[in-house]
Structure 1
Amino acid sequence: MCVRYVVVISMVLTLFAATAHADEGQDRYNAGDYERALKYWQPLAENGDTQAEFGLGLLYETGHGVAQNFDTAQNWYRKAAEQGLSDAQNALGAMYDVGRGIAKDDVQAIEWYRKAAEQGNVRAEVNLSNMYRFGLGVPRDINLAIAWLQKASDAGSPAAQSNLGGIYISEDGGKDYSKAAILFQKSADQGDPGGQNGLGIICAQGLGRPKDASCAVDWYRKAAEQGDPHAEVNLANAYADGVGVEKDMCQALFWYRKAAEHGNVQAHKHLQYFLQDACILKG
């Protein structure tokens, strides 16, 4: 399982412990009252409050309460990042990572991820590990990738746990299925779709335990219902092959379409195959 996560910003954050106004802005944001969050954050940000600067960056990146503007978002993130706020450093790194509101630059992404990770920011630790794992802006180094993921995993990050579990079922991690299963379970217990899909793979392939196709389908479904494209494809495959569930091509197509809508290349290939097959049958 080779999945690259860019952990930018969770839509429900617990970031602010500064001024009462900044805290109230965060409360408003979490409640979906984006206009009032903007009203609280704007004057604070203009006076150099890092938490409020980051809050404005978040509003402009997501387009909540304001017209979405990635350039404005990265400008606010940069102000906070340059003052040392780790969440802003991670967010700015992610914008460089994917080229959102700024030219894609893996080296700059690494720099900002590292600044945040060295402050113990778990999202940045996950992102930095991905850069090392895939050799983006830095020589590929699986040991450093594992080390950064381990730090984030120990801090309880479900994304780190599922990513690290993925490494341990690959050649990169020496195929330690027991470690992988433990990590996937910890992640899944927090409701993380990556961990749920990982447990599905463990069950489906019988990695370190007897194969259990029904168990695999149960976990794939939990993750697929949260919109995980890898799980959607896995669940579609189960329906297409009738493994762990009664064969149902309508359900298979439904989940392949879902995965394709989420950008999964494998799902697109499956849909093309079914379309060609349908055309042959009609002919």
Structure 2
Amino acid sequence: MPSPSDGPAPGSATVREAAAGATSVPAAVAVREVRHRYGRGADAVTALGPLTLDIPAGEFLVLVGPSGCGKSTLLRLIAGFERASSGTVAVHGGAPEPGRQAGVVFQQPRLFPWRTVGDNISLALRFAGVPRAERPARVEELLERVGLTGTSGRRTWQISGGQQQRVAIARALAGGKDLLLLDEPFAALDALTRERLQEDLRTVSAQTGITSVFVTHSVDEAVFLGTRAVVLSARPGTVALDIPIELPRTGSEDPDELRGLPGYAALRAEIGATVRDAAR
């Protein structure tokens, strides 16, 4: 049996907390004792909290948990689409403002069908203050980043659902924000397209270092994409598990080799077990 001088066991909650406390990376998002309710009086439902969470700059945080646990609610609070019933949410030290601090990608692409692929992205560049003369080059750069080179002149209804979601990600990146919020963006796609987009998003994350918060029901998606996973309990959602995902992340990993790593399987098992417990 280890003595007290031996310190906590590797992988224990204490080690994780110590590692988190030792980091000097400032928090891009700070959530403090947040609770959120819907409705009033006897019909009120507490969807979330109490919940306290720091998201350091450059982290790819994945929120996973059973349906109705408050994952999307937390994302909307960070985006500024809703205000917490109690507690505080801060983005870069200030109150969240819709469209100001974060790019957001939803379950559906929500593109403008009367605009071309390039024009959808160019509009976001315009709102971001990018000069007109610079926009065409930036559009092509963003399309290349999401694997859609040569599609700028096509109509959105002329491309597949997976390609439309790539455009939505490019549009979110076009705003120049250093925070990206994604609410189950691949949920409606077929399995093969979903895997390809996961690979692309992981590469974009590794190359840009953008702070990201990603909501999913998929444990495998959480482990594949994230640098950290937070499992929320059943409603009202609180933190059931907060675990770093320490896997290779250069953007050039072979997906099959990555999924074959022992550490990958161990993370998937731990997160999956916690999600199942939370759903009971």
TM-score range, shorter chain: under 0.3
Please, what TM-score do these two structures have when normalized by structure 1?
0.27
Structure with bigger gyration radius: 1
- The answer to which structure, 1 or 2, has the higher relative contact order (CA under 8 A, 6+ apart) is 2
Higher percent of residues as strand: 2
